[in-house]
Amino acid sequence: MAIFDLDDTLLDGDATGLWTEWLIQLGWITDPERYRAIWAQQMADYAAGRLDMEAHLSHLLSPLAGRTVSEVEAEVGTFLDTELLPRLYREGRERIAWHRDQGHQVVIISASTAQLVAPLAERLALDAALATRLEVKDGCYTGRAQGIRTFRDGKLAAQPPHLGLFGFTQ
């Protein structure tokens, strides 16, 4: 089995940061300066090893609260095609292909959230994706996360689905 991280590993950049800018362009974030300031402080806290992941997720997911899964999925698809896929390192794609050629199962794990990571893994024909799942009620995102946060030690606690089946955790 080969396990890949996403941000600054397979991807030139941070998927969540790029998604944030996408949401600003869409107008889903109504106060971009304030949102970016909170984001910048949280990234400084992350670098210093003191990020409050729950506060971070609350901030990060607030633009999705009340939006339908289908509305978000449509934007994610366009975002992946125009912003993320072109930023994947060639060497990372080659390494994934090498592992597939060796018959290895390939998994991506990321602290970025599942609405981004799972469809990216599908586009890359990976065997599984592990990412922080988002809570959905009545077909809409609540703005909250659920389950294991695939951040730091949470990456160790996350379990891939049975890899004999093609499954993604969202």
Out of 5, 12, 14, 45, the active site residue is 5
Out of 7, 12, 14, 45, the active site residue is 7
Residue 5 annotated to the active site: yes
130 touches 169 (CB < 8 A): yes
Residue 153 annotated to the active site: no
Rounded to 5°, angle at Cα 124 from 122 and 125 = 60
The two structure tokens encoding residue 51 = 């990020």
β-pairing, 128-137 vs 140-146, is: antiparallel
Q: Which residue has the tokens 């946060």?
A: 149
User: Which residues are annotated as catalytic?
Assistant: 5, 7
